[in-house]
C-alpha cells in the first residue's frame, strides 16, 4: 500500500513539474536557449538543499556513489540538451516515443543484464503496447516528422540519457545501498548545477548573470517548480527498493505523461483527436497490465 501511495505522489509531482515548467518557459524573459540551463541551475541548487536536509544534514557517500553521481550529472545535462534540440527539429510524438521507450527499457535491460531481473513476457509485451500508445496520444494531425537531419540522433540521445539516468539511480541503490540515495541525488544535481553554470558562461560570456534575471511571474514558477522537482526526485528514489523496476519507470515515464495530457486538457483546454483519446484508453489498459503481469 505504501508503494502505491508513493507512486501516486510521484506521478502527481512530476505532472505538476511539467505544467509549472511550461508556465516558467512561457514567462522567462531571456533568450529561449538559456531557459533550460537557468532552470537546471536554480532547481539543481534546491534539489541539493532538500536532499541534504532529508539526509539529516550529513554527507556520507562511498566512492562508487560519488562516481555514479558524476556520471549521472553529465547524463542529466545531456538529457536537457537533447530534449531541446529534438523539440526544435521534429515531431513531438516521435520525441516522446524515444524518450519514454528509453526511460523504461534501459533500466529494465540494465536490471536483466547486471542484476539478473526476469520480467515476464506479458510485461514486455505490455511495454511495447505502451510505446505505441505514446505515439497515439502525442500525435498531432499534419505534424512534420522531422525538419532537420539532427532530429533522429537527438531523439536517440534523449532516450539514452533518460534511460541511463534512471538506470544509474537504480544501480546506486543495488550496489552501495539505499542509505546513500540522498547523497547520490545531491551529487548528481550539484554537478549538474556546475555544468549548467559553465555552459552559461560559455554561451553568454559577458552577460552570463543577465540570463538569471526573472520577471515576478517567471521567478514564482521557477521557485515553485524547483521545490516540486526536489520533492519528486526524493520520492522516486525512495520507491526504487520497494517495487519492480519495470513498474516504477513505466509509471514514472508513461504514467506521468498520460496524467500530464489529461491535466493539459483540464487546465489548458487542449483538444484531443480521436486517435489521442484511443491512445489514452490503450495506455491505461497497458499500465494496468504492466503492474499486475
User: What would the pLDDT profile of 34-90 be if each residue is shown by its tens digit?
Assistant: 888 888 899 999 999 999 898 887 888 899 999 999 999 999 888 888 887 887 777
> Which set of grid coordinates corresponds to residue 126?
505490455
Burial (CB count <10 Å: 0-12, 13-18, 19+), residue 282 = middle
Task: State phi, psi for 90 to the nearest 5 degrees.
Answer: -170, -170
**Residues in a beta bridge with 146:** 90
Q: Tell me: the pLDDT tens digits for 156-207?
A: 999 999 999 999 999 999 999 888 999 999 999 999 999 888 888 887 777 7
| Residue in 32, 148, 144 with CA at minimum distance from that of residue 89 | 148
Phi, psi (rounded to 5 degrees) for 20: -70, -35
Terminal-residue alpha carbon distance, the chain = 18
3-state secondary structure at position 215:
coil
Q: What's the total number of domains in the chain?
A: 1
The whole domain housing 133 covers 2-292
Amino acid at each position: 500500500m505504501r508503494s502505491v501511495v508513493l507512486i501516486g505522489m510521484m506521478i502527481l509531482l512530476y505532472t505538476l513539474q511539467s505544467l509549472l515548467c511550461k508556465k516558467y518557459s512561457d514567462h522567462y524573459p531571456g533568450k529561449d536557449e538559456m531557459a533550460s540551463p537557468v532552470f537546471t541551475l536554480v532547481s539543481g541548487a534546491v534539489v541539493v538543499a532538500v536532499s541534504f536536509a532529508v539526509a539529516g544534514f550529513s554527507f556520507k557517500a562511498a566512492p562508487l556513489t560519488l562516481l555514479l553521481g558524476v556520471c549521472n550529472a553529465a547524463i542529466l545535462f545531456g538529457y536537457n540538451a537533447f530534449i531541446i534540440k529534438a523539440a526544435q527539429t521534429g515531431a513531438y510524438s516521435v520525441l516522446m516515443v524515444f524518450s519514454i521507450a528509453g526511460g523504461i527499457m534501459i533500466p529494465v535491460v540494465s536490471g536483466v543484464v547486471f542484476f539478473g531481473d526476469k520480467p515476464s513476457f506479458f510485461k514486455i509485451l505490455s511495454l511495447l503496447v505502451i510505446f505505441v500508445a505514446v505515439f497515439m496520444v502525442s500525435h498531432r494531425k499534419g505534424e512534420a516528422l522531422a525538419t532537420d537531419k539532427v532530429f533522429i540522433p537527438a531523439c536517440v540521445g534523449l532516450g539514452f540519457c533518460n534511460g541511463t539516468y534512471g538506470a544509474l539511480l537504480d544501480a546506486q541503490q543495488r550496489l552501495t545501498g539505499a542509505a546513500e540515495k540522498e547523497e547520490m541525488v545531491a551529487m548528481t544535481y550539484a554537478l549538474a548545477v556546475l555544468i549548467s553554470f559553465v555552459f552559461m558562461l560559455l554561451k553568454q560570456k559577458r552577460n552570463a548573470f543577465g540570463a538569471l534575471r526573472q520577471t515576478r511571474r517567471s521567478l514564482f514558477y521557477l521557485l515553485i517548480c524547483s521545490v516540486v522537482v526536489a520533492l519528486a526526485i526524493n520520492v522516486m528514489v525512495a520507491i526504487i527498493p520497494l517495487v519492480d523496476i519495470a513498474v516504477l519507470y513505466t509509471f514514472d515515464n508513461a504514467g506521468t505523461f498520460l496524467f500530464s495530457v489529461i491535466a493539459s486538457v483540464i487546465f489548458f483546454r487542449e483538444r484531443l483527436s480521436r486517435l489521442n483519446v484511443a491512445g489514452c484508453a490503450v495506455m491505461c489498459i497497458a499500465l494496468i497490465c504492466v503492474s499486475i503481469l
